[in-house]
Amino acid sequence: MADSGVTDEPGSKDDGHRAKTEGKELTKEEKQRLRKEKKQQKKNKEKKDEKASQESEKKRNREEKPVSAAAPASQPPTQPSTQKAPSAVPAPAPVPVPVSETPALADKPAKSKAELKAERRARQEAERASKQASTSKPKAPPSELQPVVKRLPEHVQVDNPGVLKKLAKKLERQQTPGCNAATNVKIPLRSDYGYKVSLFSHLHQYSRKAPLTQQLSIPSTVIHPAIVRLGLQYSQGIVAGSNARSVALLHAFRQVIRDYTTPPNEELSRDLVNKLKPYISFLNQCRPLSASMGNAIKYIKKEISNIPCQCKEEEAKSQLLSSIKCYIDEKIILAAKAIAKSSIEKISNGDVILVYGCSSLVNHILCEAFEKNIKFRVIVVDSRPRLEGREALRRLVQRGISCTYVLISAVSYILPEVSKVFLGAHALLANGYVMSRVGTSQIALVAKAFNVPVLVCCETYKFCERVQTDSFVSNELDDPDDLIVTRKGKTQLEHWQDVPSLGLLNLVYDVTPPDFVDLVITDLGMIPCTSVPVVLRVKNVDQ
């Protein structure tokens, strides 16, 4: 019932098997292929000077590679076949072993009885070793940092047609299982829009005027209506901001869980997770998932799979609903309160605080500080095309805080007046980099140049195990038409698509190096930027 990841490539059985145990397909295959090539080259070289020292080679190889299924490599009779079989990689052994058998059989008349015996022994060893290796696979992921660390989920590689085909197949497989399989209803694939700047051609770029709902049936049957509504709100920007998106996501999942009924022969813990997969793909296509949403989804999936089998459906559902509520209360609401409490210590009378864009957390902190009668004023820095600062300005002024509003081009003019900079974050990466709205790194840089302290406020549920040092590898491209503006009745960029060499780039995020950030205020306390991996480790141990 679970996705088995069967593809058409050679060695697909192993990929599927490994995918079941680990879930990583792409990079493992690449590594495999590289190793295969290396081994092939090595074997070619060895074969030349191998004839003389066959016996010693055999002994040495047997000793060197005890557990691995490289046993076929140690056998001279099977040497021609090892050119095809990689030696050190355990998993592909089951496939190459039958492959190696056929050329070995072809060489039979030339070999002696002893050699045949040795062959057979080696084959048995290989099979045993491969069985062992495959079961011990989960314990030895070669170069990962920690057992639970996952690489960047789908390396968004939009300009690689092979990856796109895989994604399309994956979406097909995620159709609602069971009775709808006959009608082959599937999650539609949203197509990219417009010319993409070459540096970012590996990312998706969608148009707001072409929503994904165009390709869905109107009384949405494949996807739960709450999820369709959520996806629309994401793609139109009605729900924007890391916290808002997570809360809205959890709210929608609560509705899904409430309306869910377990099919007769299935278990809630396994079936519900599979139910959620197409919804998550759908939401991902409406707007790429944020780090906080990813963590929330991981939490929900863990909660669902931890439900005991004998639990009744009503009980299980109420348990899930309450755990979601708990998550929101703890990680978002209480965390905001804790962060506000610590931050207020950092705000003193007479401060001039600079904020950028509209961060719900920073706004909350400033409002709380104002309630505590601290006298300060705020400078709101804003940037096109989102112009979110206007909303932040509205919220602060509504409370009575005195604000100044500038655009980001005036930041170096206004910084001499500023005593502190408070920034919100979209995610905090494992190497201490802060991923936030585009423009944040610029503000941090200029603030550093003026020796103004930069404080980043971020809840721990936004901490992410990803490692990134630049804003190119993983980012989000917004609708390029947002950059088009009409001034005095003239729209200069109206026909930008007709100019072949013109590309409009509307980036959403950028990363700020930890050198520019002086302090990160989290619900666990005030930590330096480089302590993020510690927090992650502590979190993982807790889980």
Closest listed residue to residue 441, CA positions, set 464, 465, 423, 429: 423
Does 232 bind another protein (CB under 8 A)? Our answer is yes
Among 118, 203, 250, 280, the residue binding another protein under the rule CB under 8 A is: 250
Among 214, 310, 349, 501, the residue binding another protein under the rule CB under 8 A is: 214
Does 263 bind another protein (CB under 8 A)? Our answer is yes
Closer residue to another protein (CB): 219 or 416: 219
Does 462 bind another protein (CB under 8 A)? Our answer is no
Does 110 bind another protein (CB under 8 A)? Our answer is no
Does 211 bind another protein (CB under 8 A)? Our answer is yes
R_g over Cα of the chain: 28
Closer residue to another protein (CB): 219 or 350: 219
**Site for another protein, residues 136 to 195, rule: CB under 8 A:** 176-180, 182-183
Closer residue to another protein (CB): 202 or 317: 317
Among 233, 383, 436, 460, the residue binding another protein under the rule CB under 8 A is: 233
Distance CA 24, CA 15 (A): 9
Distance CA 289, CA 273 (A): 17
Closer residue to another protein (CB): 132 or 255: 255
Closest listed residue to residue 191, CA positions, set 173, 165, 210, 170: 210
State the DSSP code for 333.
Answer: I
Closest listed residue to residue 445, CA positions, set 516, 513, 518: 516
Closest listed residue to residue 196, CA positions, set 186, 187, 205: 205
Q: Quote the least distance from Cβ 323 to another protein, whole Å.
A: 14
343 close to 363: Cβ distance less than 8 angstroms:
no
DSSP 150-186: ---SS---TT-HHHHHHHHHHHHHTSPPGGGGTTT--
Entry field: residues in the chain: 543
State the DSSP code for 148.
Answer: T
Q: Quote the least distance from Cβ 305 to another protein, whole Å.
A: 17
Among 358, 429, 456, 524, the residue binding another protein under the rule CB under 8 A is: 358
Q: Quote the least distance from Cβ 472 to another protein, whole Å.
A: 25
Does 297 bind another protein (CB under 8 A)? Our answer is no
**Site for another protein, residues 300 to 339, rule: CB under 8 A:** 328, 333
Does 248 bind another protein (CB under 8 A)? Our answer is yes
**Site for another protein, residues 332 to 351, rule: CB under 8 A:** 333
**Residue 260 has which token pair?**
């869910």
Does 400 bind another protein (CB under 8 A)? Our answer is no
**Residue 405 has which token pair?**
């509003």
Closer residue to another protein (CB): 221 or 306: 221
Closest listed residue to residue 13, CA positions, set 91, 80, 98: 91
Among 156, 216, 300, 354, the residue binding another protein under the rule CB under 8 A is: 216
Q: Quote the least distance from Cβ 334 to another protein, whole Å.
A: 13
Distance CA 336, CA 342 (A): 10
Distance CA 73, CA 86 (A): 8
Binding range to another protein, per CB under 8 A, among 136-144, 228-236, 439-447, 466-474: 228-236
Three-class SS of 499-525: CCCCCCCCECEEEECHHHCCEEEECCE
Amino acid at 164: L
State the DSSP code for 373.
Answer: T
Binding range to another protein, per CB under 8 A, among 96-104, 123-131, 166-174, 389-397: 389-397
Does 262 bind another protein (CB under 8 A)? Our answer is yes
Does 23 bind another protein (CB under 8 A)? Our answer is no
Question: What CA–CA distances, in Å, run from 183 to 43, 174, 190, 400?
Answer: 51, 13, 20, 58
Closer residue to another protein (CB): 225 or 453: 225
Does 397 bind another protein (CB under 8 A)? Our answer is yes
Does 277 bind another protein (CB under 8 A)? Our answer is no
Does 243 bind another protein (CB under 8 A)? Our answer is yes
Closer residue to another protein (CB): 101 or 330: 330
Q: Quote the least distance from Cβ 180 to another protein, whole Å.
A: 6
Q: Quote the least distance from Cβ 512 to another protein, whole Å.
A: 19
Residue 454, strand partner residues: 421
Measured on CA atoms in the order 137, 143, 148, 154, is the torsion positive or negative?
Answer: negative
Q: Quote the least distance from Cβ 92 to another protein, whole Å.
A: 36
369 close to 343: Cβ distance less than 8 angstroms:
yes
Does 253 bind another protein (CB under 8 A)? Our answer is no
Residue 202, strand partner residues: none
Closer residue to another protein (CB): 238 or 505: 238
Does 266 bind another protein (CB under 8 A)? Our answer is yes
Closer residue to another protein (CB): 427 or 536: 427
Q: CB under 8 Å to 12, separation ≥6 — which residues? A: 6
DSSP 379-417: EEEE-TTT-THHHHHHHHHHHT--EEEEEGGGHHHHGGG
Does 224 bind another protein (CB under 8 A)? Our answer is yes
Does 239 bind another protein (CB under 8 A)? Our answer is yes
Give the side-chain half-sphere CA count within 13 A for 38: 9
Among 53, 146, 217, 305, the residue binding another protein under the rule CB under 8 A is: 217
Closer residue to another protein (CB): 126 or 423: 423
**Residue 458 has which token pair?**
């971020």
Binding residues for another protein, rule CB under 8 A, total 60
**Residue 274 has which token pair?**
């599979």
Binding site for another protein (CB under 8 A): 176-180, 182-183, 211, 213-214, 216-222, 224-225, 228-229, 232-233, 236-241, 243-245, 247-248, 250-251, 254-255, 258-264, 266, 271, 275, 328, 333, 357-358, 360, 388, 390-392, 394, 397-398
